Amino acid sequence: MRRDPECIFCKIVAGELPSKKVYQDDKVTAFHDIHPIAPVHILIVPNQHIASVNQVEPEDADVLGHMFWVARQVAEQMGVAERGYRLIVNTGEHAGQVIFHIHMHLLGGRPLGRMLCQS
Ligand code: AMP
Ligand code: ZN
């Protein structure tokens, strides 16, 4: 399992840092975002360290595909599957990525507005 000893999401996956986990299996972990911006705000991460989409390799396809199935499970578990939710993967500086362990934000629980601010 690839791991970065400095990475806080690697530590959360390993249980070395506290988090409110909602799902975990041998490939993927999902937990509450510490600063939620919607009534439901869950982060879904691969257990192995991949810094961002810019480092994705063909052999990561299995775990990245599995993240979408986990998103489906978590959306049902959190009660947002029917009314809808948004999945966001920020990549790099212009997208505001601050944690360089690839993660999917699952946002829902209210109307989420337009996809992008017009700024
Ligand atoms: P991003 O801007 O896409 O890199 O998003 C990183 C997200 O990680 C932000 O929404 C933070 O609130 C969240 N975050 C940072 N540290 C933690 C932590 N220890 N536990 C849960 N969420 C965190
Ligand atoms: Zn990591």
The 3-state secondary structure of 65-79, one letter per residue:
HHHHHHHHHHHHHCC
pTM of the complete model? 0.98
Residue 19 pLDDT more than 80?
Answer: yes
Residue with the nearest Cα to atom 15 of ligand 1? 34
Catalytic residue numbers read 103
User: Is 114 exposed, middle or buried (CB count within 10 Å of its CB: 0-12, 13-18, 19+)?
Assistant: exposed
Which pLDDT does position 119 carry in this prediction? 67
Ligand 1 centroid, distance to 7 Cα (angstroms): 12
Average confidence (pLDDT) over 39-44: 98
* Superfamily grouping for domain 8-108: HIT-like (3.30.428.10)
- Give 11's contacts (C-beta < 8 A, 6+ positions apart): 17
Q: What is the pLDDT of residues 60-117, one digit of tens each?
A: 999 999 999 999 999 999 999 999 999 999 999 999 999 999 999 999 999 999 999 8
* Residue to probe by mutation, ligand 1, list 6, 10, 16, 33, most atoms within 8 Å of CB: 33
Within 13 Å of residue 51, how many CA atoms lie on the same side as its CB? 7
- The structure tokens listed for 112 are 């989420």
